[in-house]
């Protein structure tokens, strides 16, 4: 049997295929007008890397937003999937921060894998993936250059605002004023890491809790490092690509 | 005598030359900002002078406003854009008491007294969801040019909703509606409504006194103006000059007043 988890995000569809043995398949597709087709693209990719031809039985679980169910998929909330995934890694109480394109969710998962608390940015998307994307465009750099450039920063510039419009204008002004690109970028990285640190300290004021950072932002090492510098707390490394955490949790449900 | 007002905003730079002998606008110019405020002010002033057929030596006083007011390339007075929009609109039409100014990054509501001086104001300080730059980003997502957005939105019947909480949420809503095959005109209409309802929250704090006008670049978007009129239950008074120029006009008026004081 192959267990398939699908996570429909605001920008990407992530699929994870667990073949019950040693091989896990991953698939990623950019969301487009035909969401059903984009899902199939991600799933096919995941099967290909999990060698689907050896399996006849398939189970599905879907999570995320923006998809009208056409097939009989099991549905679970994003929070349930994340809790399931992190609980499979660590049986202590932990905080999971899912930092995606437009939302940042924080969940506290108990020792038994139950969600004790959850919160989400429901008014403002400051510091999420789209913010980083727009600021990178203003800096004329690519997302995958962030880690290298961040290391070159000597004196991070302090960005005043998390609002895309205000921050974009501030970044452009600083670029034109001749401020170093790595220093401006480091300012953006620290702003995002600061948002995550606030969520962490709200729950663990003594900085002793366990934290997992998942979602697209979890892939950016510079943000992890900045967070660790701000809170002196290490972020737990998830075994898989953090962008697939929710889809992996969904696949665990697909029994 | 001639006074020049220069308004370097976040997206556009504007300049106006006023002939103080007859209180008439001699020339004006609007252009997108350049790489820094100094270059923008220098260029917009030079282009306005060219239009007027004058040299900078013929200008008796300059006043600058907007974000870039401290970096004006010519010796000038400085005045906040709030005061300039207030006096600019009042100078253009004396009956004006409330000004709704929506620019590139700001939405402000300004109350002026019987002399055109600011008596109260409120502006967005943390979030730019109801501003020109956000409209620009959303029209890009819709595949429309910014200056076409208003006209397209007016064709919509107002059947859809777009979040007005954060620009990024608005953008996601727009993309979601496009994916579900909704008409561009309906989405554009929903965007205008969202921006108008965002501005309404600021208007509520300051209150409305007639006459009321809309200034700033977004005032050129007829759909936002119409939705604001509807939800506030008012009608905007039309100004005799381009409403995007009000900041620069106000700066020129302040320049002429300080010139008068110096002469006296």
Contacts of A33 in chain B (CB under 8 A): 178-179, 181
Query: Is beta strand B77-78 parallel, antiparallel or unpaired with respect to B98-102?
Result: unpaired
The verdict on A118 touching B (C-beta cutoff 8 Å) is: no
The tokens for A233 are 């707390």
What pLDDT is recorded for position A119?
87
Contacts A–B by Cβ distance under 8 A? 53
- How far CA A169 is from CA of A160, A164, B81, B230, in Å, comes to 11, 8, 17, 32
What pLDDT is recorded for position A10?
82
Query: Is beta strand A58-64 parallel, antiparallel or unpaired with respect to A74-75?
Result: parallel
The verdict on B35 touching A (C-beta cutoff 8 Å) is: yes
Q: Which residues of chain A have pLDDT under 70?
A: 21, 52-56, 66-71
Contacts of A165 in chain B (CB under 8 A): 105, 128, 131, 133-134, 167
| Minimum-distance CB partner of B36 among A35, A122, A177 | A177
B210 contacts: CB under 8 Å, gap ≥ 6: B95, B97, B98, B234
Q: Which residues of chain B have pLDDT under 50?
A: none
The verdict on A128 touching B (C-beta cutoff 8 Å) is: yes
What pLDDT is recorded for position B142?
85
Helices (H) and strands (E) in chain B, counts: 8, 9
What pLDDT is recorded for position A57?
73
What pLDDT is recorded for position A53?
62
Residues B243/B216, Cβ–Cβ less than 8 Å: yes
Inter-chain CB proximity A125 and B126 less than 8 Å? no
Pick the residue from chain A with its C-alpha nearest to B135.
A165
Mean pLDDT estimate for chain B: 89
| Minimum-distance CB partner of B168 among A33, A102, A161 | A102
pLDDT tens profile B164-180? 888 888 888 888 888 78
Among A127, A164, A170, A216, the strongest candidate for a mutation testing the B interface, having the largest count of B CBs within 10 A, is A164
pTM of this structure: 0.82
The verdict on A130 touching B (C-beta cutoff 8 Å) is: yes
What is the 3-state secondary structure of chain A? CEEEEEEECCCEEEEEEECCCCCEEEEEEECCCCHHHHHHHHHHHHHHHHCHHHCCCEEEEEEECCCCCCCCCEECCHHHHHHHHHHHHCCCCEEEEEECCCCEEEEEECCCCCEEEEEECCCCCCCCHHHHHHHHHHHCCCHHHHHHHHHCCCCCCCCCCCCHHHHHHHHHHHHHCCCCHHHHHHHHHHHHHHHHHHHHHHHCCCCCCCEEEECHHHHCHHHHHHHHHHHCCCCECCCCCHHHHHHHHHHHHCC
Inter-chain CB proximity A102 and B128 less than 8 Å? no
| Separation of alpha carbons A22 and A20, rounded Å | 7
Among B8, B68, B164, B168, the strongest candidate for a mutation testing the A interface, having the largest count of A CBs within 10 A, is B168
pLDDT tens profile A151-170? 999 999 999 888 888 898 88
What pLDDT is recorded for position A69?
57
Classify burial at A69, counting beta carbons within 10 Å of its beta carbon; exposed 0-12, middle 13-18, buried 19 or more. Answer: exposed
Inter-chain CB proximity B172 and A102 less than 8 Å? yes
What pLDDT is recorded for position A123?
79
Contacts of B168 in chain A (CB under 8 A): 102, 125, 128, 130-131, 164
The angle at the Cα of A12, spanning A109 to B173, to the nearest 5 degrees, equals: 90
- The helix/strand/coil state of B151 is helix
| Rg of chain A over all Cα atoms, to the nearest angstrom | 19
What pLDDT is recorded for position B51?
92
What pLDDT is recorded for position B264?
60
ipTM: 0.79
Measured in degrees and rounded to the nearest 5, phi and psi for residue B64 equal: -120, 155
Measured between alpha carbons, how far apart are the two ends of chain A, in Å? 9
Question: Among candidates A96, A158, A162, which has minimal Cα distance to A123?
Answer: A162
């Amino acid at each position: 049997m192959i267990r398939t988890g699908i996570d429909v995000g605001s920008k990407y569809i992530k699929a994870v295929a667990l073949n019950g043995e040693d091989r896990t398949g991953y698939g990623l597709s950019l969301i487009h007008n035909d969401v059903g087709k984009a899902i199939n693209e991600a799933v096919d990719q995941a099967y290909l890397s999990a060698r689907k031809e050896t399996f006849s039985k398939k189970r599905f679980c879907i999570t995320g937003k923006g998809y009208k169910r056409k097939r009989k998929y099991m549905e679970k909330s994003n929070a349930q999937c994340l809790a399931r995934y992190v609980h499979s890694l660590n049986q202590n109480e932990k905080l999971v921060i899912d930092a995606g394109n437009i939302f940042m969710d924080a969940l506290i998962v108990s020792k038994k894998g139950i969600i004790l608390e959850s919160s989400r940015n429901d008014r403002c998307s400051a510091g999420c993936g789209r913010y980083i994307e727009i600021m990178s465009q203003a800096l004329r750099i690519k997302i995958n250059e962030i880690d290298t450039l961040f290391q070159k920063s000597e004196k991070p510039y302090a960005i005043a605002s998390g609002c895309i419009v205000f921050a974009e204008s501030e970044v452009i002004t600083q670029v034109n004023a001749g401020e170093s690109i790595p220093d401006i970028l480091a300012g953006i990285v620290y702003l995002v890491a600061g948002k995550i640190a606030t969520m962490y300290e709200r729950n663990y004021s003594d900085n002793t809790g366990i934290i997992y950072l998942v979602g697209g932002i979890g892939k950016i090492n510079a943000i992890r490092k900045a967070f660790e510098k701000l809170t002196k707390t290490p972020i737990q490394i998830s075994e898989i690509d953090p962008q697939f955490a929710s889809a992996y949790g969904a696949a665990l449900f697909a029994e | 005598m001639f006074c020049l007002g220069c308004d370097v905003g976040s997206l556009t730079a504007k300049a106006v030359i006023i002939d103080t002998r007859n209180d008439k606008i001699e020339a004006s110019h609007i252009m997108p900002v350049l790489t820094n405020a100094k270059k923008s002010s220098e260029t917009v002033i030079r282009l306005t002078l060219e239009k007027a057929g004058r040299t900078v030596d013929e200008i008796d006083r300059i006043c600058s406003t907007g974000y870039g007011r401290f970096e004006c390339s010519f010796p000038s007075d400085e005045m906040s854009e709030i005061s300039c929009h207030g006096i600019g609109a009042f100078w253009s039409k004396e009956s004006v008491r409330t000004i709704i100014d929506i620019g590139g990054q700001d939405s402000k509501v300004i109350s002026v007294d019987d002399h055109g001086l600011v008596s109260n104001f409120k502006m967005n300080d943390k979030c730019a969801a109801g501003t020109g730059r956000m409209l620009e980003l959303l029209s890009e997502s819709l595949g429309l040019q910014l200056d076409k957005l208003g006209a397209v939105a007016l064709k919509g019947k107002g059947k859809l909703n777009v979040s007005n909480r954060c620009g990024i949420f608005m953008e996601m809503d727009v993309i979601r509606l496009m994916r579900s095959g909704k008409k561009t005109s309906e989405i554009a209409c929903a965007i205008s409504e969202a921006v108008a309802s965002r501005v309404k929250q600021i208007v509520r704090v300051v209150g409305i006194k007639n006459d009321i006008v809309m200034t700033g670049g977004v005032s050129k978007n007829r759909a936002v103006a119409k939705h604001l009129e509807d939800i506030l239950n008012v009608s905007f008074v039309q100004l005799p000059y381009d409403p995007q120029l009000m900041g620069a006009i106000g700066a020129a008026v302040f320049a002429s007043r300080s010139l008068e004081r110096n002469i006296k």
